[in-house]
């Protein structure tokens, strides 16, 4: 790990902290014409059914799905904070890794509070995680070794960062969401730099089997995130008939949209340490629909 680089990240975090309470215009409610999520990131975009929705239904779909995205981040970050808290207990007091992780914990707790407030401003009612998500999330958090958890976290951070960037760069995005993603992108950029530099050491030491396992952990994390956004309940809420059928179409459609728009960064990362091989490539193609 590049110690000087991590010291620089700690310094920025200390000297230029961003406070969500003042950085985000919480007083602003959404105005008519504000959008909540770019259309191409909604689960129904590209399907025939999307064109049959009224503008109000399209906007409601985007609002509910944005709430789902934010709630999923908050949940994932909370789980990661649990892990980091346990992990820093194993590190010496003066280690640069421990000091950085403390800054990351502080920032991640602020993010979770910010996400909760944003959901309230959106009038959101997040659909809870499925039992399988809950089980996999808590089980892997508790029992996987640290290197696997860092691999998982950087993959989720890279994917969610792309999502936030698409949202904050969209024209007419609800200004509160824009500022929320601005803040998140700035702070997550530091987490990503740190984790990548930490993982370089793990990946350099890893042989074929370990690289294969790392690749599968990342793939699993991405699949985990992707399946948290698309929810049958949302189609019921916006008044669609036959939500079961819509859900099936949407899941397939979103897999493709997600692969086209969100996975370039993570594919590049996995490629950089040789995570694509005979044992993994087929799964990435089949499960995540990426061309590797
Ligand atoms: Fe965060
Ligand atoms: Fe983070």
Q: What are 35's two structure tokens? A: 């959008």
Q: What pLDDT shows up at residue 39? A: 94
Tell me how far apart the alpha carbons of residues 145 and 20 are, in angstroms, rounded to a whole number: 32
Query: Which residues, by Cβ under 5 Å, contact ligand 1, an ion?
Result: 77, 108, 111
Q: What pLDDT shows up at residue 161? A: 86
Q: What pLDDT shows up at residue 160? A: 86
- Partners of residue 229 on adjacent β-strands: none
Name the pLDDT band for 28 (thresholds 50, 70, 90).
Answer: very high
CA of 239 to the centre of ligand 1 (A): 33
The single residue listed with the structure tokens 């340490």 is 273
**Which span out of 106-120, 196-210, 258-272 was modeled with the highest average pLDDT?**
106-120
CA of 259 to the centre of ligand 1 (A): 22
Region 78-91: what's the mean pLDDT?
A: 95
Query: In this structure, are residues 183 and 114 in contact, taking their beta carbons and an 8 Å threshold?
Result: yes
CA of 76 to the centre of ligand 2 (A): 10
Predicted TM-score (pTM) of this structure: 0.93
- DSSP string covering 38-51: -GGGSTTTTSHHHH
Phi, psi of 122 (to 5 degrees): -85, 0
Query: Considering only CA atoms, which of 233, 236, 227, 217 is closest in space to residue 132?
Result: 227
Region 61-84: what's the mean pLDDT?
A: 94
Phi, psi of 9 (to 5 degrees): -65, -40
Average of per-residue pLDDT values in the chain: 94
Phi, psi of 29 (to 5 degrees): -90, 165
Q: What are 219's two structure tokens? A: 């793939």
pLDDT score of 250 more than 90: yes
Q: Nearest 5 degrees, angle CA 207-CA 213-CA 214?
A: 85
Q: What pLDDT shows up at residue 162? A: 87
- Quick one: what percent of the chain has pLDDT higher than 70? 100
CA-based torsion, 104, 144, 72, 89: positive or negative: negative
**219-248 as b/e, with b when 16 or more CB fall inside 10 Å?**
bbbbebbbbbbbbbebbebbebeebeebbe
Name the pLDDT band for 229 (thresholds 50, 70, 90).
Answer: confident
Name the pLDDT band for 1 (thresholds 50, 70, 90).
Answer: confident
For residue range 119-164, list pLDDT tens digits in order: 999 999 999 988 999 999 999 999 999 999 999 999 988 888 888 9
For residue range 47-58, list pLDDT tens digits in order: 999 999 999 999
CA of 193 to the centre of ligand 2 (A): 10
> For 91, which DSSP code?
S
């Amino acid at each position: 790990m590049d110690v000087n680089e991590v010291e620089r990240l700690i310094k920025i975090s200390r000297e230029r902290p961003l406070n969500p309470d003042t950085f985000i215009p919480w007083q602003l409610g959404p105005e008519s014409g504000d959008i909540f999520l770019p259309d191409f990131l909604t689960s129904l975009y590209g399907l025939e059914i999307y064109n049959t929705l009224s503008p109000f239904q399209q906007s409601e779909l985007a609002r509910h799905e944005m709430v789902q995205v934010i709630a999923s981040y908050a949940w994932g970050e909370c789980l990661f904070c649990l892990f980091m808290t346990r992990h820093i207990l194993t590190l010496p007091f003066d280690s640069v890794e421990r000091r950085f992780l403390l800054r990351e914990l502080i920032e991640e707790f602020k993010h979770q509070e910010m996400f909760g407030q944003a959901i309230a401003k959106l009038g959101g009612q997040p659909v809870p995680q499925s039992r399988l998500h809950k089980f996999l999330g808590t089980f892997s958090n508790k029992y996987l070794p640290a290197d696997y958890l860092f691999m998982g976290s950087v993959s989720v951070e890279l994917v969610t960062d792309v999502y936030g960037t698409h949202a904050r760069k969209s024209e007419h995005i609800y200004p509160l969401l824009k500022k929320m993603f601005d803040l998140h992108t700035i702070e997550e950029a530091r987490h990503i730099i740190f984790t990548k530099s930490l993982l370089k050491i793990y990946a350099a030491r890893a042989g074929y089997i370990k690289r294969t396992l790392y690749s599968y952990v990342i793939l699993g994390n991405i699949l985990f995130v992707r399946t948290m956004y698309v929810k049958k309940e949302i189609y019921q809420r916006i008044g669609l008939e036959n939500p079961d059928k819509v859900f099936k179409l949407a899941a397939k459609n979103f897999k493709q949209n997600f692969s086209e728009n969100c996975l370039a960064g993570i594919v590049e990362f996995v490629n950089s340490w040789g995570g694509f091989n005979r044992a993994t490539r087929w799964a990435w193609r089949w499960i995540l629909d990426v061309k590797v």
